[in-house]
Structure 1
Amino acid sequence: MAEVRVKLFANLREAAGTPEILLSGEKVIDILLSLTEKYPGIKNLIFEKHEKDEIPVLCGSINILVNGNNVRHLEGLDTGLNDSDEIGILPPVSGG
């Protein structure tokens, strides 16, 4: 299992009460499930639906970056991870 640094931004950071956390997992989905287990308040901000026995669906407005690359352009939530990878979770942000 890879140990990765997860950086949270905007309302995700506020809901978790921390800007970053170290978590372990083989794939992006493992990290997201661990994150939402540790901070249940962000589950509905990351997933459209997620019941215990269902496959989670990522919110369309959330961007997950692994080392700066959007997982939508990689292998999605099945993107594999290596030690010292960095995951950024970015909700939609607007302003001027």
Structure 2
Amino acid sequence: MSTTATQGQSPIQSNEEFRERLRELPPSAKLVAKVLETEHPLSQGQLAEESLLPDRTVRYALNRLTDADLVDSRYSFQDARKQVYYLDV
């Protein structure tokens, strides 16, 4: 996870806030966040492969993480038809 300060917050506050929001999410979202912490950016298919979760569960986890403003996405540079996901910390 990034430890840079955002908008006047110290890195520790930002990290604590991230962990607090993550704590409220289901286990699948926590696992996907952990995978993104070590390897990023990843597509939904790559996340399913790395986490060993079904595609449908990864999609649900990504939606929950996005709703909590913990994950963001952009189009892949390698394949513009795909989106890749990364932690938004």
Whether TM exceeds 0.5 here: the answer is no
Larger radius of gyration: 2
**Which of structures 1 and 2 has the larger relative contact order (alpha carbons within 8 angstroms, sep 6+)?**
1
Using structure 2 for the length normalisation, give the TM-score: 0.30
Using structure 1 for the length normalisation, give the TM-score: 0.29
Between structures 1 and 2, the one with greater helix share: 2
